[in-house]
Amino acid sequence: MELQLLSSMRHLNLSILAALALTLVACEKEITVDLPETEPRVVVEGVIETGAPPVVILTRTQAYFAPTSLASIAASFISEATVTVFDGSTTHVLDRVCSSAIPEELLEEAAAATGIDVNLLANANICIWTKLDMSLLGEAGRSYRLEVQADNKNLRATTTIPNAVPLDSLWFRLAQQQPGDDSLGFIWARLSDPDTIGNHYRWLAQRTNAGPDGVAKDANFVAPFFSVFEDRYTNGLTFDFNFNRGARPFSNAEDDENEERGYFKRGDTVIVKLVSLDRASFKFYESFQSNVASAGDVFSNPANVISNVEGGLGVWSGWGSSLRTVICQP
């Protein structure tokens, strides 16, 4: 009797599994999702820094599944626009400078000044807007209104350059993450935050010593991931903190692809730039980093980038900058 019961149950289970399999096969259906096409929007990447002229780069948004070839990336850059900055008393029309007019021997300098990859500058006509006669230089405590006319669109944004907050000190400390670690580490800093709530910061660093190829390891300042922070919990306090070494987008440098990635190295000469930001600029960089971090992670909440540009996307940011140099010796 028990054997008959077990046999019946076994057949029943097999029948259920077979029926389930047939049901799943029968439910297969090809689903086509039509993503709506949206009109390209103008994206602003603009900075005005203490003691420096403004630098503005304009691009267009691309469709999610658009090709990512050099040609398509180059096509996203805008080369025809009118860009002005009002400093409270004078409206300055910015000058257009395009990579097609830059001599080949100066492309490295242009890449360092703009942060755009030198290969892209060499193979595409990338334009920036600035003030070549240096008649407009950023001043702490001053507000600047940007206006852009491009692709039959009008964009506006206003930013203020806060007073710079210098670092108290800077030093190099070995990571000590494995036995025998004697060369790789992080840059540490001490900061005394002013006793006024609402200070926002961004950290960037540049290695000026030569690499294996004989040129400076970093052509410009590089921000590590999650480079911005605020004084919500540290207002008026003196505290120590550290950052890892950032890498330029799509970098193929050897030390960005091996065990040195993210670390500074004994013997590096590093200039650290601590930037003071207004609230709107801070929210842009913070939300941009969160957006990048959540991309492709099905368990994270989607993060929208918070722009301060009316009529478009991106950021117009005033930087109150302070520099300090450290030689990486533990």
Does 280 score more than 80 pLDDT?
yes
- Token look-up 């929208």 returns 304
**Contacts of 293 by beta carbon, 8 Å cutoff, 6+ apart:** 225, 226, 300, 303
The CATH architecture of the domain made up of 42-160 is Sandwich (2.60)
Report the range of poorest mean pLDDT among 27-41, 138-152, 307-321.
27-41
Does 298 score more than 70 pLDDT?
no
Task: Return the higher-pLDDT residue of 8 and 150.
Answer: 150
Report percent pLDDT > 70 for the chain.
Answer: 81
**CA–CA dist 188, 174 (Å, integer):** 10
pLDDT band at 278 (very low <50, low <70, confident <90, very high): very high
Q: Give, in order, the Cα–Cα distances in Å from 57 to each of 8, 47, 54, 194.
A: 74, 9, 10, 33
Task: Return the higher-pLDDT residue of 50 and 68.
Answer: 50
pLDDT of the residue at 19: 46
pLDDT of the residue at 2: 38
Burial of 172 (0-12, 13-18, 19+ CB in 10 A): buried
Contact 287, 314 (CB under 8 A): no
Task: Return the higher-pLDDT residue of 237 and 28.
Answer: 237
* 113-134 pLDDT tens trace: 666 777 777 777 889 999 999 9
Contact 86, 145 (CB under 8 A): yes
Task: Return the higher-pLDDT residue of 209 and 73.
Answer: 209
Q: What is the DSSP letter of 310?
A: B
pLDDT of the residue at 68: 63
**CA–CA dist 221, 50 (Å, integer):** 15
Burial of 54 (0-12, 13-18, 19+ CB in 10 A): buried
Does 9 score more than 70 pLDDT?
no
Does 295 score more than 80 pLDDT?
no
Contact 206, 222 (CB under 8 A): yes
Cα Dmax for the chain? 101
DSSP 178-239: STT--SEEEEEEEEE--SSS--EEEEEEEE-SB-TTSSBS-SS-BPPSS-EEE-TTTTT-EE
Q: Give, in order, the Cα–Cα distances in Å from 119 to each of 70, 76, 123, 140, 178.
A: 10, 16, 6, 34, 37
pLDDT band at 90 (very low <50, low <70, confident <90, very high): very high
**CA–CA dist 117, 215 (Å, integer):** 15
pLDDT band at 181 (very low <50, low <70, confident <90, very high): low
Among candidates 131, 21, 39, which has minimal Cα distance to 83? 131
**CA–CA dist 103, 111 (Å, integer):** 12
Phi first, then psi, for residue 280 (nearest 5°) are: -65, -40
Calculate mean pLDDT across residues 175-197: 87
**CA–CA dist 139, 305 (Å, integer):** 27
Task: Return the higher-pLDDT residue of 26 and 218.
Answer: 218
Q: Which of 3-17, 110-124, 126-140 has the highest mean pLDDT?
A: 126-140
Report the range of poorest mean pLDDT among 81-90, 149-158, 209-218, 265-274.
209-218
Does 26 score more than 60 pLDDT?
no
Q: Which of 98-112, 142-156, 247-261 has the highest mean pLDDT?
A: 142-156
Does 140 score more than 90 pLDDT?
yes
Does 12 score more than 70 pLDDT?
no
* Amino acid in position 35: L
Calculate mean pLDDT across residues 291-317: 79
Q: And the tokens for 165? A: 């907050």
**CA–CA dist 239, 241 (Å, integer):** 7
DSSP 243-283: E-----TT---GGGSSTTTT-EETT-EEEEEEEEE-HHHHH
pLDDT of the residue at 251: 81
Report percent pLDDT > 90 for the chain.
Answer: 61
Domain(s) of CATH 2.60.40: residues in the chain: 42-160
Does 13 score more than 50 pLDDT?
no
Map residue 291 onto helix, strand or coil: helix
Contact 118, 215 (CB under 8 A): no
